[in-house]
Amino acid sequence: MSFNPNVPHMRLARFARSLGGFAVITVLTFLGLMAITFFIGRVVPIDPVLAVVGDRATNEQYEAARVAMGLDRPLIMQFFSYVADVVQGDFGRSVSTGRPVAQDLVRVFPATLEMATIGIIIGVVLGVPMGVYAAAHAGSWADQVIRVLALLGYSVPAFWLGLVGLALFYAGLGWVGGPGRIDVFFDGLVEPVTGLLLVDSLLDRNMEVFRSALHRIILPATILGFFSLAYIARMTRSFMLDQLSQEYVTTARVKGLSETRVIWVHAFGPIRVPLITVIGLSYAGLLEGSVMIETVFSWPGIGNYLTTALFNADMNAVLGATLVIGAVFILINKISDVLYRVLDARSR
């Protein structure tokens, strides 16, 4: 098929088609995600009914639960009704909280979102300049330090860093607040509007609550930020090295442009687009990383919810949280993919 890619409406048509194909792939990925959680919930446990009724149930109770759960139907039909439930936002009821899992998830998600967002801001603000600096001074000691720092981000267990951070900065130096999202003292003082405590307290003009919340979020968010910093700095460095070896950069230098201009305008310009994908990926990764951090900091977010549910063998809650984290992960991935296509002149 041949067409002139420069005719605007053709470009639009091609874009729409690629977006259509893209939507199909995204839907298939979500179906795959649901297939995995369905598989984990229904097929992997030896007896899902026993997990619900407990081993003291009579045969009648067992049989009734089995029918109520729809387990007497063929597996494929079970999967379809599972998908229908999930699409309607029905993840079942949590055994430990007694509420619908979907309600629980809506309640805990903002806490995770708030922490991950501050984390990614730290990661981008520090990671990108570090990567650019390392590439501009490749081989220098600063480059080596940044390289080791980045590799540390791949080798340090998040939960360990959280514990050591608590011991050092909370118990030792007293610079930051302890575990939890806010002092018990301030708990419930601010009307939840967005669920983001920092935003809510600002809306309420309650600076004391804001300060307390900031005091507590700063350590877990910085630790999360360190992991995204490691990844972002490493990728920025490698993108920049690619650009700096290009001929146009040499040309710019020969023309007598200042080194700052060459680096930040000529070399950095083209890598902004791939960097968006990297930042998107690491944002999604932070949602995952928050599971460990939240457990250590007793942070009432989705990760903590997931691990608490694990201990209570609350399978509906485990699978609901898995599904939501997975869906957000996939969604962020796909959005950064679309952004890449829209912004990158070559793939247009």
The site for another protein (CB under 8 A) is made up of 28-29, 32-33, 35-37, 40-41, 44-45, 147, 151-152, 154-160, 163-164, 166-167, 171, 231, 234-235, 237-238, 241, 284-285, 287-289, 291-292, 295-296, 306-307, 310-311, 313, 315, 318-319, 322, 325-326, 329-330, 333
Question: CB of 316 within 8 A of CB of 306?
Answer: no
Identity (one letter) of the amino acid at 144?
Q
Radius of gyration of the chain, Cα coordinates, nearest whole angstrom = 25
Q: How far is the CB of 298 from another protein (least distance, A)?
A: 11
* CB nearer to another protein: pick between 8 and 172: 172
Q: How far is the CB of 9 from another protein (least distance, A)?
A: 31
Crossing angle of helices 315-343 and 101-136, in 10° steps, is 40
Q: How far is the CB of 340 from another protein (least distance, A)?
A: 15
**CA diameter of the chain:** 87
Q: How far is the CB of 333 from another protein (least distance, A)?
A: 6
| Helix, strand, or coil (residue 93) | strand
* CB nearer to another protein: pick between 12 and 43: 43
* CB nearer to another protein: pick between 35 and 67: 35
Reduce the secondary structure of 291-332 to three states and give it as a string. Answer: HHHHHHHCCCCHHHHHHHHHHCCCHHHHHHHHHHHHHHHHHH
Q: How far is the CB of 35 from another protein (least distance, A)?
A: 8
* CB nearer to another protein: pick between 209 and 315: 315
* CB nearer to another protein: pick between 118 and 332: 332
Q: How far is the CB of 40 from another protein (least distance, A)?
A: 5
CB burial class (10 A; 0-12, 13-18, 19+) of residue 298? exposed
Q: b/e map of 73-105 (b: 16 or more CB within 10 Å)?
A: eeeeebbeebeeebeeeebbbbbebeebbbebb
Q: Which residue has the tokens 């040309």?
A: 251
* CB nearer to another protein: pick between 24 and 345: 24
